[in-house]
Amino acid sequence: MRITELFAPALLLHALRTALAATLTAGLTRLFNLEQGYWAVFSAILVMQADFGSSIQASWSRLLGTAAGAALGALAATLAEMLLGPGVSALTLAMFAAIFLCAVLAGQSENFRLAGVTAAIVICLHEAGGNAFTLGASRFLEVGLGIVVALCVSLAWPSRARVLLRFGAAKGLEGLEGLAGFLAALMDSRMSGQYDRQRVFHQKDLALRLSLKNRQLLAAARREPGPSGEAETLADLLQTLERMAEHMLGMDHAIENAPPEGFHRHLPGELSELGASVQAVLLVLSNAAAEPRSSRTPRTPRTNAALTGALARLDSALAATGEKLLELRGERVIAGYDLDEVMHFYSFYHSLRETAQEALALAARLGG
């Protein structure tokens, strides 16, 4: 990891907020004289996330898991002791029953992932001489204290997911360069008749990683309080990027096992130009997103001219490809190919055409 990444402002802010929440929680446990207040500190550290929306989700998960684990641990310890009396047998039975149930719950929902830990702690402390239900209630209150402090720090010193989402959306637009590279790899594989598996896989992996990261940020933003209009606008933008990636995945599926010689050889110039014109639009939009400007600052004349030219080129390529296909249909050229090849070709062509339409819509949405 580079030194600039290690000391990036966002990472430093998260580290400071986490340290502050842990320190405040430790002070409160001393103030309230909590015997095992370190569990509150652990909870504050665990639930503190890089944005408030994710902190809410982590807090709910931690609180629900603790409540379930404390209740099951206390109930199992009490019933086992009633059946077998104090001793190793009761501890063994209680531990087995509680952890089994907690594992079943964890399998149903990620929220119960830490329930087994709480149940085990309650059972072990009860075996040492404490009241099981009192221990369970104390554990729940300690965890709750840590969660409350962490959320208060997040609210007082926010690192909002929507701020991160703006960054993610900007990165998504800059990542159009990656989609352009993915499309170039697909077009070269189809038009050359040689599927470049390594190149295609690399470009596909980059596109899917960015899509997953943006989706996670969007989910965190939607969990935050406040108006949701901004998140929904950004969601629309990110969904457009995802649809473009999905269309390219459809192209990949169509050409991966397609024969090298197919119907596409009858319009190599039109298909190549259509692919190249889509790439040109994506690259212009990517470069425009990387420009250091605010939302109120218009694009430079050079960028506007480049985008206008790329869009005109794409419109012409779409029209030329459509006209060539109509001409080939009129000549009944397609009748010389079997159904499997025809399906491969049209799956590839329609995915490419849909990618082009999404590129046009994205340019229009961004004020192109």
Q: What tens-digit pLDDT sequence spans the chain (368 residues)?
A: 445 445 566 677 778 888 988 899 999 988 888 877 888 888 888 877 655 566 676 777 888 888 999 999 999 999 998 888 888 888 899 999 999 999 999 888 877 888 888 899 889 888 877 788 888 888 888 888 888 888 888 777 655 555 555 555 555 566 678 888 889 999 998 888 888 888 888 888 887 777 777 776 666 666 655 555 555 666 777 778 888 888 998 999 888 888 878 888 898 999 999 999 999 998 888 877 655 544 444 456 666 788 889 999 999 999 999 999 999 988 888 888 888 888 889 999 999 999 999 998 888 877 64
What is the reported pLDDT for 217?
Answer: 65
What is the reported pLDDT for 232?
Answer: 65
Q: pTM of the prediction?
A: 0.56
Are 27 and 132 in contact by the 8 Å Cβ rule? The answer is no
* 144-193 confidence digits (pLDDT tens): 888 888 888 877 765 555 555 555 555 556 667 888 888 999 999 888 88
Are 189 and 255 in contact by the 8 Å Cβ rule? The answer is yes
Q: Which phi and psi (to 5°) does residue 37 adopt?
A: -70, -10
What is the reported pLDDT for 9?
Answer: 63
What is the reported pLDDT for 297?
Answer: 47
What is the reported pLDDT for 151?
Answer: 80
What is the reported pLDDT for 294?
Answer: 45
d(CA 27, CA 199): 55
What is the reported pLDDT for 296?
Answer: 40
What is the reported pLDDT for 1?
Answer: 45
